[in-house]
Chain A
């Protein structure tokens, strides 16, 4: 074995032999043999240890590099991934008006339902006592009524609105989807249900808002204009309105905070929340995952369009 060929210029063995000779020339032969033996063992073990350590170091460096590369690639992929517009500007605006209204109404309304709760007193103070919070509650009410009217016209006069409204009407498939989904949760069904543009969860949210708005706005108006109300109808209707307003408020708040917030914020897929309400975009990946039927339809439509364009150009 020629060490020079491997690129090493010095010879460790010669160096060690020379030093051993110098150090041990006054010892007996037995002692010299013992010393040589000890040195040999130590050198062997040190060599193995050091070689192992160096090998590990290289390996971890490599791993790190690979991870970084992967991340970069993922980021690039994500940036390049196709997006679909799920909610148009008008729809996003409606949602923003509605949740602003809801927050104002909840923060100024619920303290009246739970006056002894310690947060109630704080909220009341923040919103300017009874008078201030009454005013803000009514501003919230006007926003909610505006949202309701806006949405009504949106569903009639906007193309997207008409399409979405029809898509939101519950169909028997929703019940089947629910069953499939529950079976999927408990592990009896490997596949998730294939949702169209709106899953049964989203449909529930939508119609819950309908029910809530009708009850809350109806009873709220009776209470707001109680003097006019009681000009025409007896007092116990106002009592019913008050009860319904207060109870439905709690139900709506619970549904929003527990159900809606879970589905859009606390759900592990989405935590801490998606910004879809702001930019209205949905990624291709999420589209395939959550709304496969809609994705398939969109792809079909695109193909047909491309074909027709091709035909036209020919």
Chain B
């Protein structure tokens, strides 16, 4: 081997090694470089309005999150030099999160629903109080929904939403759904189970999952399931009987002023009927019905609410229904027999040529 060739080989292999380690080294260096400043626990910035912005980030900040293998500049890609002169821009998650991305992010387009949602609309209108991805999902500590400690897990999501929707959170937290969800019960609904995840709309928007005529559908997702309801000793029939009631039928045909589940049972503060604070506790029924039926009194609470006339439990209504059932059957049978006998007689006489 000539020295020239040797030299070339050495240089080539050095470049190769440098390319391999160099790449990694750069990321590492970048992270290390970042933590030169951000790794100091007292690293923070006092904002104009007096609020303190904590800027403390360590090498372990991303560990355990779904982005554990990413580095700082993977998301803060507008940081070109260190120390950066300008404040880095807000992280744009859609940089990686889109269908067909090569980064290994989930191949899904559901995030796009966010842009049409009320939150996305408000952001587009320039409302800086509206939430971005990181406001719900967290910034460095993003975890999968099903992982405990995730900001959007069953037990935590209500609190996450409640950061902005405080009054509603207070209502929800003490409701039967809120109590069970906070216990980590996966059957219990939390905010997204009714309102949707990314496709959240105002309840007056017909696209909303909790639009007046969609409420029964939402509640029925769980409350119509006998298997699920029997686990908690709850009757699954009301979902069905509501549909047959005037309220339910009118709602099906698009009436918005008619009562849906939430009108009587409450929206966020749903409680079991035994609870004296429940809107459907017999003592509170007059007030609840009175929302739509002015002057409602104790008579409104006298009698069952969700009635299935075909069941004996319906009491007197069952007997009324049974009376009409047999009256209809016998009357119509007699009339139809009379008609057929008449037709039979006619055909017979016709054949005989009379």
Contact = CB atoms under 8 A, between A and B. Distances in A.
A250 to B, nearest CB: 6
Interface string B286-305: 00000001111101111110
A186 B296 contact: no
A236 B320 contact: no
Nearest to B303: A236
B339 interface: yes
A235 B302 contact: yes
Interface stretch (A91-99, A139-147, A240-248, A280-288): A240-248
B344 A243 contact: no
A57 interface: no
Contacts of A250: 328
Nearest to A131: B255
B317 interface: yes
B300 A247 contact: no
Nearest to B336: A258
A71 interface: no
B298 to A, nearest CB: 8
B253 A111 contact: yes
Contact of B295 (A184, A227, A251): A227
Nearest to B341: A185
A115 B332 contact: no
Contacts of A233: 299
Contacts of B253: 111, 115, 121, 124, 129-130
Contact of B254 (A129, A234, A251): A129
Among A182, A233, A247, A248, residue most surrounded by chain B Cβ atoms (within 10 Å): A247
Interface stretch (B61-69, B139-147, B178-186, B244-252): B244-252
Interface in B319-354: 320-321, 324-325, 327-328, 331-332, 335-336, 338-339, 341-346, 348
Nearest to A244: B320
B309 interface: yes
A115 B342 CA distance: 35
B331 A243 contact: no
B250 A184 contact: no
Q: How large is the interface on B (under 10, 10 to 19, 20 to 34, 35 or more residues)?
A: 35 or more
Given A111-B253, A251-B328, A259-B339, A239 B345 contact: no
Contacts of B299: 230-235
B48 to A, nearest CB: 54
A243 B324 contact: yes
A7 interface: no
Nearest to B305: A235
Given A236-B316, A258-B332, A129 B324 contact: no
Contact of B332 (A234, A247, A251): A251
Nearest to B342: A185
B317 A258 contact: no
Nearest to A208: B331
B301 to A, nearest CB: 7
A184 B346 CA distance: 10
Q: Is the interface of B mostly helix, strand, loop or mixed?
A: helix
B332 A254 contact: yes
Interface in A249-270: 250-251, 254-255, 258-259, 262, 267-268
B304 A262 contact: no
A172 interface: no
Nearest to A254: B332
Contacts of B314: 239
Interface residues of A, number: 39
Contact of A255 (B250, B315, B332, B345): B332
Contacts of A231: 295, 297, 299
A247 B325 contact: yes
Contact of A130 (B255, B297, B345): B255
Contacts of B297: 230-231
Contacts of B136: none
B307 interface: yes
A237 B294 CA distance: 19
Contact of B252 (A115, A186, A244): A115
B258 interface: yes
Contact of B341 (A186, A255, A267): A186
Among A115, A230, A254, residue most surrounded by chain B Cβ atoms (within 10 Å): A230
Contact of A236 (B304, B332, B342, B345): B304
B336 A115 contact: no
A185 B249 CA distance: 45
A244 B324 contact: yes
A238 B293 CA distance: 14
A255 B301 CA distance: 36
B317 to A, nearest CB: 5
Contacts of A232: 299
Contacts of B335: 255, 258-259
A115 B328 contact: no
A244 B300 CA distance: 19
A236 B317 contact: yes
B103 to A, nearest CB: 48
Given A129-B253, A251-B331, A254-B332, A182 B341 contact: yes
Nearest to B321: A243
Contacts of A129: 253-255
A164 B314 CA distance: 43
Interface of A: 111-112, 115, 121, 124, 129-131, 182, 184-187, 226-227, 230-236, 238-240, 242-244, 247-248, 250-251, 254-255, 258-259, 262, 267-268
Interface of B: 243, 246, 249-250, 252-255, 258, 293-297, 299-304, 307, 309, 314-317, 320-321, 324-325, 327-328, 331-332, 335-336, 338-339, 341-346, 348
7 contacts: A186-B345, A230-B299, A234-B302, A239-B303, A243-B320, A244-B320, A255-B331
Given A243-B324, A247-B324, 5 more contacts: A185-B342, A226-B293, A227-B296, A230-B297, A231-B299
